[in-house]
Structure 1
């Protein structure tokens, strides 16, 4: 996913009134459907919760960013109704940490991770750390590099690795963990080296973990299992995201990615949190229901 510095006012200001009203009506409809879903004994949430697994299924909230812009509290209530227990934030939409923490507690949710743009560190690491601690996060994840940030040549990534070691050290001292989320561009060869390998090899494993996006790994024709074997224990977070036959996004469990052998190597990877995500979807409720069901089955 791409990280955006979200705020509700900024998001809504880009829409005209008709678009906003349409979005809000759709959101209300989805919320009502989710509440009904949670109340039905035969619901996906009920069925998945009955599965024998101690692992919690997480959701990357970028999937529901439009709904978050309309109402963060109602969106989190919807997510909890489907059955999710863990969240990864991608913006807070002008809500204070205290407000969000109260909602999370009321809905039985936790937020172990958040995507924080690299530019947020430009004014200092301490502000980012303080906010993460207020939120109760454990992981701070660098989610995306703009084309300008990627630059040219492999030295860009060598310098980034050095910077990440510094940020990661500050995070560790505060009881947090820095992580990096991949797309496909980290696997484009530069000066005979893969940027992703540079980030892995030139950052201290204790100072920066990796959040492996399974969709983008497959898109880049990379083998997650090979990386688990070469860097065991390094991939503390996953984005579980599926791909259709055309190479586009799909609801988890409906596409072409074979997740079973990947999940079978969870211990080798070191994964602690798995977040369902779909960057673009026309049916958000269906997407998060299907993702929850599929990951619950994989963990059972």
Structure 2
């Protein structure tokens, strides 16, 4: 268990402000809000990883982990390992399977875990780790009543988990239960918040602390995981600055 007074580096998932380019110009303001790092998604870093790293360095920011395509890990692992090393990330995170490619059986998801595991083995040779990031579908039951997330992590024993509390909540799940269940696998925590049911503004998401998730209840559970940092994310904010600042201010208020 971590020290109850320990604070975490806090990253900003750059996907949150994808609709407000140019992205690099956001870095100085994010640093001024108190963010320690940027968690980018493809294609933010792909065109020029060196320029992305330079923009981080110029603004005193780090990159602990980054989102990348599952197919990239499977078919082009060395290219994405090189990107990780260039931008300074230590954790490579495939976050999604598009609906038309999702299998519906336990075997499919166990196989996906195996693919992640193979990528993790290659990444480990370079001092890197691989983690899976969830959405809602991994926590919804398959036809046999089992869950995709359990099969993914069972199929990839050397694969870590970036848990997204907001998507678990949207799936009707309990983030507290999942934080406890996967405590030894969680390497990063996305503190995404969900607006009250029926909210249509901003696609039903909210800045961290403004939604329905009881973060005060979850913080002690954060400290029982192996999480190395916290990440803020909002899938479609109408004002990324308001989201970014309100979220980090709330996390700091919680002692994180």
TM-score scaled by length of structure 1: 0.77
Alpha-carbon offset, residue 57 of structure 1? 1.9
Contiguous gaps of at least 5 residues in structure 2:
199-203
Q: What residue in structure 2 maps to residue 272 of structure 1?
A: 228
- The secondary structure found in structure 1 opposite 2:75 is coil
Q: Give how far 1:53 is off.
A: 6.3
CA contact (8 A) 1:57 1:86 kept: yes
- CA deviations on 1:126-178 (whole Å, 9 max, x unpaired) are 11111111111011111111012212222210110111111111111111110
1:198-237 equivalences under 5 Å are 198-204=151-157, 207-237=158-188
1:10-44 C-alpha deviation (Å, 9 max, x unpaired): xxxxxxxxxxxxxxxxxxxxxxxxxxxxxxxxxxx
Deviation string 1:54-111 (CA, Å, 9 cap, x unpaired) is: 42222111001122xx323212122112221111001325542222222212211001
TM-superposed CA distance for 1:285, in Å, is: 1.1
Task: Name the SS for the 1:236 alignment partner.
Answer: strand
Quick check: 254-263 or 78-87, which moved more? Answer: 78-87
CA distance in 1, matches of 2:180, 2:7: 25
Could you say which residue in structure 1 is the equivalent of 2:245?
289
Matches within 5 A, 1:9-48: none
CA distance in 1, matches of 2:140, 2:160: 21
Secondary structure of the corresponding residue to residue 223 of structure 2: helix
Contact 1:232 1:269 in 2 (8 A): yes
Q: Partner of 1:180 in structure 2?
A: 132
Q: Give the RMSD, CA atoms, in angstroms.
A: 1.8
- SS of residue matched to 2:18: helix
Please report the TM-score for the alignment, with normalisation by the length of structure 2. 0.89
SS at match of 1:254: coil
Task: From the CA coordinates, give the structure whose radius of gyration is larger.
Answer: 1
Task: Give the corresponding residue for 2:87.
Answer: 135
Q: SS of 2:146's equivalent?
A: coil
**What is the count of residue pairs matched by the alignment?**
245
Distance in 1 (CA, whole Å) between partners of 2:174 and 2:25 is: 38
2:51 is aligned to 99
Following superposition, the deviation at residue 187 of structure 1 comes to 1.8
Whole-angstrom CA distance in 2 between matches of 1:182 and 1:171 = 20
CA pair 75-151 structure 1, distance change in 2 beyond 3 A = same
Q: 1:124 aligns with which of 60, 69, 76?
A: 76
CA shift in 2, pair 1:54/1:229, >3 Å:
closer
SS of 2:110's partner is: helix
Unaligned runs of 5+ in 1: 1-51
